[in-house]
Amino acid sequence: MDPREEIRNRLDFKSLVERYVPLRPAGKGRWKGLCPFHNEKTPSFYVDEAKGMFYCFGCKAGGDAFKFVQMIEGVDFREALEKLAQETGVELPERAPGRKPSKDLIEVNRLALAYFQKNLTGAALEYLKGRGLSNETIDTYALGFAPKSWDGLLRYLQQHGVSPELALRAGVVAAKDGRYYDRLRDRVVFPIRDPMGRVVAFTGRAISAGDTPKYLNTPESDVFKKTDLLYGYPEARKAIRESKRAIVVEGLFDVLALAQMGWRETVAVLGSSLSQSQARLLERAEASRLYLAFDADEAGRKATLAGLDVGVARRFLTYAVLLPEGHDPGDLLTDPEGKKAFAAALEEALPEVEYRFMAAAEGVDIANAEGKRQVLEELLPRLVDADPLDPVAEALKAVIVDRLRLDPRALEDLIYSQRRRKRPSVERAQVEAASDNLEDRLLLLELDVIAQLLAADPENFADWVRYAEDHTWPPKGSFLAEFIAVAEEEGYRPRRILDRFSERSEGGRLFERLILSGSEYPAEYKETLDKSLARLREGYLRRKRNILIRRLKQEPENALDLLKEVQELDEAIEAERRRYRTGNGKG
């Protein structure tokens, strides 16, 4: 059996959802509650227990158990699959045969964390307390300590059945001249977690004077790539979703300090600046605003600009939080005025456009031609690479024109000359199709038919799909024709078919129709389906009629023949209308 099917069969979908959303009855086998994906006061979030689906009529979020976990946990499909497989005891096939399972590395890191936490006592614990951290923060972020011993962790892991070779693969031990030793020694330890909350790596911070480097990371491995993760993301995800914003900092202590002061939506980059993958994590957590609070030195300024330049980051409203020179957010925890100071910095954060211009114009005399040239040279890449309707680019142009006193047309000419290639234009036909109301109505009619097919008795599902095909003759390229082809390819297994459509825009509308259709198999199923098929046939006929009307305008010499076809279609359309109005929908 397909692992996804086995997981669905074993999973209590309602109980899964109730971990995050209080539900109350909304009909037989159906439940409702306040949507976890947007703010609302009246419940519009529904769960169909029998179908294993959810749908929100407010924000249009919908799908199955895997989609729910993806959205609520901010993980991708594979991570959601692994999480639910672990919960239900379903064994997943390895993605790379011949390699040791990554879960072995996860288990090594779990054991290593237990060792580090057990050793967080004495001077190491006092060091953290001296940085202003509370016991709650230390526990929430699972901080630990690596003793000075060269083989303390190595021996601990061996006692738990972990070989030195596997510990080396996990990165928690190192090797030299054939000898294994603990990688982190005499350091406060920060666990790095993936979006599912599993420990995949560690960072050690030296606490003894002169010990270098100050920060030491375990190396990248099969389960850890630093540009893909954000420190503190699992702990911050709920606050990010609720506030719709994320505060992005450089240092691990910055995360702890700001979270303890109340800004629990804080995460840290594991590198010099925000990466594409890290920005996507924030997007998955439904952040709409980013506040980049990097250090107030030259490196921090470059990191801020690099974060603004990340392509996916352009989907957010982005602000630069300016702290006093020589300060970083981690310093504010021990400052009596620290919380007040950061709140003010957030309030006064510069929008991306203002920050870009300020950074480009710093130390430059923009009153003369050379100064203007320098500023333009700094800002042009952002304008050249902009999408056609990029609001930040348009606002930046306005600021440049105003501050540098440039002719707007001259600036546009300069941008055009710098652009290396033109972006493809949208075809007019695409725009017309997108605004064609009949096409939208046809899709809804097809979705109604498909929802009814999926509500059929599973034993007769294949017969009903063939019945719908025989009584509608769906045109090539239609959504129904695609559904019928996919149904055949997937062996008429409804959940496998839905998997194929779940990530598409039509998929969301299909989930809405499925929730609306209820879970019961009605006694008058065939009569109801026949009426829906008659409405759909009418829609297909109207589409043909519209095409003929357009041809009439283009081919006046064929007017008599075309008008005859239009008349025949009008009669067919009226016949279909009579079928679904009188209750005899059969074609």
Q: What is the pLDDT of residue 381?
A: 81
Q: Does position 424 have pLDDT exceeding 70, yes or no?
A: no
Domain ranges of the chain: 3-88, 102-224, 229-339, 357-418, 432-582
> In 296-436, which ranges are continuous DSSP H helix?
298-309, 338-347, 352-361, 369-384, 391-404, 408-418, 428-434
Question: Buried b vs exposed e over 150-171: b needs ≥16 C-beta within 10 Å?
Answer: ebbbbebbeeeebebebbbbbb
Nearest to 348 by CA among 389, 319, 370, 311: 319
Of the pLDDT bands very low, low, confident and very high (cuts 50, 70, 90), residue 587 is low
Question: What's the CA gap between 218 and 203, in Å, rounded?
Answer: 6
pLDDT of residue 430: 27
Q: What is the DSSP letter of 362?
A: T
Residues 258-278 have a mean pLDDT of 90
Q: Would you say domain 102-224 falls under CATH 3.40.50.10860?
A: no
Asked if the bond preceding 43 is cis, omega within 30° of 0, the reply is no
- Dihedral of the alpha carbons of 290, 295, 298, 302, in degrees to the nearest 10: -20
CATH code of the domain made up of 3-88: 3.90.580.10
Q: Identify the DSSP state of 224.
A: B
Does position 435 have pLDDT exceeding 50, yes or no? no
Question: Which residues are CB-contacts of 521 (< 8 A; sequence separation ≥ 6)?
Answer: 455, 456, 457
Ramachandran category for residue 62: left, alpha or beta (phi over 0 → left; psi -120 to 50 → alpha): beta
Global pTM?
Answer: 0.61
Among candidates 211, 214, 156, 210, which has minimal Cα distance to 182? 156
Tell me whether the CATH fold assigned to 102-224 matches the one assigned to 229-339: no
Q: Where are the alpha helices (DSSP H) in 405-456?
A: 408-418, 428-434, 437-454
Average of per-residue pLDDT across 381-388: 72
Q: Does domain 229-339 have CATH number 3.40.1360.10?
A: yes
493-498: Cβ within 8 A, 24+ apart: 493/5, 494/454, 494/458, 494/461, 495/4, 495/5, 495/8, 495/52, 495/64, 496/2, 496/4, 496/5, 497/454, 498/64, 498/454
pLDDT tens digit sequence for 390-400: 667 888 888 88
